[in-house]
């Protein structure tokens, strides 16, 4: 198990629930736009948000932004330790900063002293695309070994100053390199790991790469906080991240819809039925497993294993509830009963 740090009161690591992060793509100096986007992200389920701090105006804006949002803010900074200190003093809950990039040890000591005084953790973020030239030369490119050594080198700088409120990330655009790097570093340190695949391409590719990489690591028990990186509205990142957590069983906070891929045996329009059910079920009100199955092969088993489900036949269907057959009738009528009972079951659970 990793050690635990606090990001603005949100626990990361040490067995705490895996949190979902995203990053604003507004100009941080534009307080109104940045606050508005963070509010949208928060509503979507984002639990920690990161913003670029590339000049002193950005650092100053953090104070106003912090006063108007409800989730912790991470300041994303490169090279300039003075920006890091300014961000901390203006309320940043965490830094994303690589200490090896800021020059002499006096600068590192100044940054660490400020971070300690404010209880501000630091994420060391190693990206394959920005591996230092010497490390690339040593390993013949941005290899897994280069990423791990780079991360550990940055860790050693902070540890020499007695600073251990550290989070690590080792990201590449290649899923295999990303997974291998996280697996390797997890065997070397017990710091919390921020997991993600970076620069993943278009939205469809990005979702698939993120699900494959993040999902594989989470199933290994690796990862304390995640960010899905998409070239899109960052709200999509949060939605995808939550779906990954649900898919690997780490979140039980929404409806899990099970449905068959259809085949020549189906005698109803299963895709239409799934769309109807999914659009009318009360989402984000708690966990319920709902099955919509197209025929008698896997249908009764999957429907019976769900909290509530339907197995269709030739224009009709059987409704199952907690493994019991409770109704048999025309397909559309069974679907209506399923939707109504699912809503009732969630309401009953939320009363407990």
**pLDDT at residue 18, as a whole number:** 98
Instruction: Return all residues near 202 (Cβ < 8 A) that are at least 6 apart.
Output: 231
Residue 100: pLDDT band (50, 70, 90) is confident
Place of tokens 């940045």: 34
The model's pLDDT over 332-347, given as tens digits with 9 standing for 90+, comes to 999 999 999 999 999 9
Q: Are 250 and 225 in contact (CB under 8 A)?
A: no
Beta partners for 6?
11
pLDDT at 105 exceeding the cut of 90: no
Using alpha carbons only, how large is the chain's radius of gyration in Å? 24
Q: Around Cβ 267, how many Cβ atoms within 10 Å? A: 14
Q: Domains in the chain, please, with CATH?
A: 5-247 (3.20.20.20), 255-351 (3.30.413.10)
Distance CA 15, CA 13 (A): 5
Of all residues in the chain, what percent carry a pLDDT higher than 70? 100
The model's pLDDT over 132-148, given as tens digits with 9 standing for 90+, comes to 888 889 999 989 999 99
**pLDDT at residue 131, as a whole number:** 87
pLDDT at 352 exceeding the cut of 80: no
Distance CA 180, CA 183 (A): 5
Residue 103: pLDDT band (50, 70, 90) is confident
The model's pLDDT over 297-325, given as tens digits with 9 standing for 90+, comes to 999 999 999 999 999 999 999 999 999 99
Average pLDDT, the chain: 95
The model's pLDDT over 107-117, given as tens digits with 9 standing for 90+, comes to 999 999 999 99
How far, rounded to the nearest angstrom, does the alpha carbon of residue 204 sit from its chain's CA centroid? 17
């Amino acid at each position: 198990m990793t050690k635990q740090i606090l990001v603005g009161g949100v626990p990361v690591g040490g067995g705490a629930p895996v949190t979902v992060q995203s990053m604003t793509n507004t100009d941080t100096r534009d307080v109104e736009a940045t606050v508005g986007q963070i509010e949208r992200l928060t509503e979507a389920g984002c639990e920690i948000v990161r913003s670029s701090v590339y000049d002193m105006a950005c650092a100053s804006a953090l104070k106003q932004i912090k006063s108007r949002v409800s989730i912790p803010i991470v300041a994303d900074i490169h090279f300039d330790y003075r920006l890091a200190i300014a961000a901390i003093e203006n309320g940043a809950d965490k830094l994303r900063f690589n200490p090896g990039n800021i020059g002499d040890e006096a600068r590192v000591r100044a940054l660490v002293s400020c971070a300690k005084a404010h209880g501000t953790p630091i994420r060391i973020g190693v990206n394959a695309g920005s591996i230092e030239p010497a490390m690339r030369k040593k390993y013949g490119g941005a290899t897994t070994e280069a990423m791990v050594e780079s991360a550990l080198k940055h860790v050693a700088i902070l540890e020499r100053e007695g600073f251990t409120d550290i989070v690590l990330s080792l990201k590449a655009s290649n899923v295999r390199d990303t997974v291998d790097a996280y697996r390797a570093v997890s065997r070397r340190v017990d710091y919390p790991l921020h997991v993600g695949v970076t620069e993943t391409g278009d939205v469809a590719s990005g979702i698939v790469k993120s699900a494959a990489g993040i999902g594989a690591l989470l199933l290994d028990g690796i990862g304390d906080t995640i960010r899905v990186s998409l070239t899109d509205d960052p709200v999509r990142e949060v939605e995808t991240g939550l779906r990954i957590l649900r898919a690997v069983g780490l979140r039980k906070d929404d409806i899990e819809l099970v449905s068959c891929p259809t085949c020549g045996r189906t005698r109803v329009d299963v895709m239409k039925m799934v769309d109807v059910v999914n659009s009318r079920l009360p989402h984000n009100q708690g966990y319920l497993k709902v099955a919509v199955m197209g025929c008698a092969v896997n249908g009764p088993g999957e429907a019976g294993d769900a909290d509530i489900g339907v197995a269709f036949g030739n224009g009709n269907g059987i409704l199952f509830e907690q493994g019991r057959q409770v109704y048999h009738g025309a397909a559309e009528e069974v679907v209506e009963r399923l939707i109504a009972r699912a809503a009732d079951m969630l309401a009953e659970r939320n009363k407990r």
